[in-house]
């Protein structure tokens, strides 16, 4: 059974870059037909899709964040990463990495989530 684990700083200063990594275990990013995705949840709020990456490196981003987001993949380390630049307090959220089954476009596995607070 695939497992995903987010890692990265829990506190980021305004205007800096948020960087998170998702480590996948129990399955290979390079194998199978999946997107690998980032989703965030503002405190006490709903879910917001950030973007997807395929094993080849092809990406899809939410236009609301597109100018600030970069998602990358390292199949040799079985990891994918999120960078969000020029953060503000509005980017404070729990960030989830997850796996999307390509054939049905549903999210079948989620990481536990990591809270990132933007504060000076």
Instruction: Please report, as ranges, the residues that interact with other proteins according to CB under 8 A.
Output: 46-49, 60, 62-64, 96, 100, 104-108, 110-113
* Closer residue to other proteins in complex, CB, 45/77: 45
Quick one: tokens of 69? 């987001």
In this structure, the strands spanning 11-12 and 114-118 are parallel
> Around Cβ 13, how many Cβ atoms within 10 Å?
11
* Closer residue to other proteins in complex, CB, 50/118: 50
* Closer residue to other proteins in complex, CB, 62/85: 62
CA distance 79 to 36: 10
What's the closest the beta carbon of residue 108 comes to other proteins, in angstroms? Answer: 6
What's the closest the beta carbon of residue 113 comes to other proteins, in angstroms? Answer: 6
What's the closest the beta carbon of residue 45 comes to other proteins, in angstroms? Answer: 8
What's the closest the beta carbon of residue 33 comes to other proteins, in angstroms? Answer: 14
Instruction: Report the half-sphere exposure of 68 (CA within 13 A, side-chain side).
Output: 14
* Closer residue to other proteins in complex, CB, 83/110: 110
Beta bridge partners of 44: none
Handedness of CA 23, 27, 30, 33 (dihedral sign): negative
């Amino acid at each position: 059974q695939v497992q995903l684990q987010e890692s990265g700083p829990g506190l980021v200063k305004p205007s800096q870059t948020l960087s998170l990594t998702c480590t996948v275990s129990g399955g290979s990013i390079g194998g199978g037909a999946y997107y690998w995705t980032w989703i965030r949840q503002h405190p006490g709020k709903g879910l917001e899709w950030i973007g997807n990456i395929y094993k080849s490196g092809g990406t899809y981003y939410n236009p609301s964040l597109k100018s600030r987001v970069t998602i990358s993949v390292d199949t040799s380390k079985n990891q994918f990463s999120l960078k969000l630049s020029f953060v503000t307090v509005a980017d404070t959220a729990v960030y989830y990495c997850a796996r999307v089954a390509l054939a049905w476009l549903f999210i079948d596995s989620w990481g536990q989530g990591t809270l990132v607070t933007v504060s000076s």
